[in-house]
Chains A and B, each alone.
Chain A
């Protein structure tokens, strides 16, 4: 692998760091009595929102329909995920330094799998919270579940829920894209170095 590929690979690994700087997913709720809206921000290691007390306000609204309160402690994922990301960042950098093209492929594939697992897990959260309702809830709408959309918007009673990836997710996207490019570019340089080697052997 040439130097620029190595640098690109390091950038790919480091772009995962965006996950620590920005939320990976955002859920927006809007209703007539919440003109300013409520935003839930899902980070790699915490739950937050547009204001400090956003979780409390989500939970106050959710308790009317008997939804389980959301707490950061409810999610083991939030404890594990930072390590997973750190693992990918460290191994990404190591792979860049080693410069083995095949390792780049493994790393990228594993990252894509991890991303897919993450999205699947996220959908399962949403499903669990939206359907696991307290039978004693004060407000019961027959047949109604409250699964927020995974992507895009959905009307949940008086709330318009909108779910979109945050800037943090861009880190994963960039990592996959850049590592893919490294894999693609280093193919030519691998081919050309093989050719040089062949020439050398002929000349010698």
Chain B
């Protein structure tokens, strides 16, 4: 009997947990099939179809940019329809258009570790003017091999990728300040810096003494967007998780959540969860820039790649940077403070007024809201609670506006609707909770299916959110779509937040794992969209702008074919004189000057992808034939009624053969006076 009581006693905490999970499950409605259907019906707005319907031929109100996580891409969706508009490859080779495969774009993926054709892309952030998204560029982070990239929203192409030295796991990145003065990128992992651009070979038991983090300040050219690493701040050896910046009164500040303030090197799930409080790191970026400009910055050797795509030649070039400047917080008073935050915080979000900072403690039961004005006062009054590495720690009570009590289980991220409400995702209880910034009371709850990560309100991180929709990105999709084996598409859910109560209006599958997203009114982007590149402005050294100028030359074992494509033929389309083992470079110029007429180029047996050439551009496909014979090539993108006929042949002869180089399109014959060709 006693043992039974003991068993029950032991089981009691577990039972409560089970009950909590069961309660969560009811919200998620995965119990009885009957109630499941009902629960779904309850959650979905009765006018959902109407609310998201964009008639054929009509355009969406908004562009949304969802990170692709482990696919290294950005996917562009229209809102409210949830239609996939484009996939932009950033850190990943993309066989669909040859990005990272053709000779022009390979340099984009160069790093100090060599060619790294993959990364983990977490956070898209739109460039800003006066605190509002301006629709010019999209900055994104590469988490694994620390990089920051810039996508040009005129072409929806990646135009710049910069490696970040002294960083490991570029997670709290990229945060642009309100006029893109800087894009900030913080390290997720701290590492033992060797102060020469690499890491030291040290024992992991030396974590506490030798590991440091870094926050990078990337300067952005206001006109062209070009990035340049201005300086870094070397910060204590915590893990830095997410970043977000102020606006209005807090314009000069940027905030980073940290975890593992215990500085544990192993089994972090336990090691980094011991302290009751971790920190929110507050950095005055303007003061930091001033310190750096005034000569407080020291210089150390570095080794990092900076890759840029040239506008005219559509060719990327890499430069290797050899130094980096850095600041130490202990030398720069007033630049950095630490605010005690609930254990293992994740998101940090600043409300549209710039007064409130919400810290989502993913293991905490309440959501603290900090006040910027209280923080300023605490700094003034030196209301400190000790210091870490010379950085003052502010007193929790002195900076706290208040806590949202029992918001849900596992708060991760918060966004704002501009009407005084905040919306937080609850990972564990799979819901979004709407609460008021004024009284910190919960106003509404909406089940989301299942385990939401980030959420996004268009402009929700700016001064004026577009408070009509909210997109919640879910990590687990289970029964939302037709099953497709063990792997299911992740899901984004569109919720109408225009009224008092949230209304679910759409589920749409997303490519790979979306982390964060940004959205912007279509009017700010669509009118600037480039339709084709002007042939006259093509500065590619191998460009051919007229069919009569095509050429084929041999230089040792490299054969260069400078050719053209236009509806519906290649010039030349008969190529001879190539030998086994030659490196053949097909420099293909697309002569089209019309919207939506790219031509593809693919060769049989090439150990490469195709390349897709935009109208007016030149791209190069590298091919090394391994055997003699006839090899067809063809256009891969359906271009016209005669697309299927858009093809040609390469004759490959054995090594040392005496077949001369010849190339042609069409047979030479007297042209009757009554006819002519497009050539």
Contacts and interface: CB of A to CB of B under 8 A. Distances in A.
Given A60-B566, A64-B641, A139-B641, A53 B676 contact: no
A53 B675 contact: no
7 contacts: A53-B532, A56-B593, A64-B642, A69-B678, A132-B674, A133-B675, A135-B672
A57 B593 contact: yes
Dominant SS among interface residues on chain A: loop
Given A53-B594, A57-B593, A60-B567, A134 B675 contact: yes
B678 A63 contact: yes
Ranked 3 nearest A-B pairs via Cβ:
A53-B593, A134-B675, A63-B678
B676 A69 contact: yes
Interface centre among A36, A57, A63, A138, by most chain B C-beta atoms within 10 angstroms, is: A63
A66 interface: yes
Dominant SS among interface residues on chain B: loop
A135 B673 CA distance: 12
Interface string B644-655: 010000000000
A52 B534 contact: yes
Contact of B675 (A57, A64, A136): A136
Interface centre among A36, A56, A133, by most chain B C-beta atoms within 10 angstroms, is: A56
B506 to A, nearest CB: 27
B677 interface: yes
A30 interface: no
Interface in B605-653: 640-642, 645
A133 B595 CA distance: 27
Contacts of B640: 64
Nearest to B593: A53
A78 to B, nearest CB: 19
Nearest to A62: B678
A68 B671 CA distance: 12
A63 B640 CA distance: 12
Given A36-B595, A53-B532, 20 more contacts: A52-B534, A52-B593, A53-B594, A56-B591, A56-B593, A57-B593, A59-B678, A60-B566, A60-B567, A63-B677, A64-B640, A66-B675, A68-B675, A68-B676, A69-B676, A69-B678, A132-B674, A134-B676, A134-B677, A135-B672
Contacts of A132: 674
A61 to B, nearest CB: 9
A64 B677 CA distance: 10
Contacts of B535: 53
A139 B642 CA distance: 10
A69 B594 CA distance: 17
Contacts of B593: 51-53, 56-57
Contact of B594 (A57, A68, A135): A57
A52 B534 CA distance: 9
Contacts of A63: 677-678
Interface of B: 532, 534-535, 566-567, 591-595, 640-642, 645, 672, 674-678
Interface residues of A, number: 20
A134 B674 contact: yes
Interface centre among B566, B594, B641, B642, by most chain A C-beta atoms within 10 angstroms, is: B594
A3 B597 CA distance: 60
Contacts of A60: 566-567, 592, 594, 678
A139 to B, nearest CB: 7
Nearest to B671: A134
A7 to B, nearest CB: 45
A63 B534 CA distance: 22
Interface string A40-81: 000000000001110011011001101011000000000000
A51 B594 CA distance: 9
Nearest to B594: A57
Contacts of A139: 641
Interface centre among B532, B535, B675, by most chain A C-beta atoms within 10 angstroms, is: B675
Contacts of A56: 591, 593-594
A29 B52 CA distance: 34
A130 to B, nearest CB: 13
Interface in A112-162: 132-136, 138-139
B245 to A, nearest CB: 41
Contacts of B592: 60
A36 B594 CA distance: 11
A138 B675 contact: no
Contacts of B674: 132, 134
Nearest to A66: B675
Contacts of B672: 135
B651 to A, nearest CB: 25
A6 B244 CA distance: 75
Contacts of B566: 60
B55 to A, nearest CB: 15
Contacts of A138: 642, 645
Interface in A55-113: 56-57, 59-60, 63-64, 66, 68-69
Contacts of B591: 56
A51 B567 CA distance: 19
A56 B592 CA distance: 8
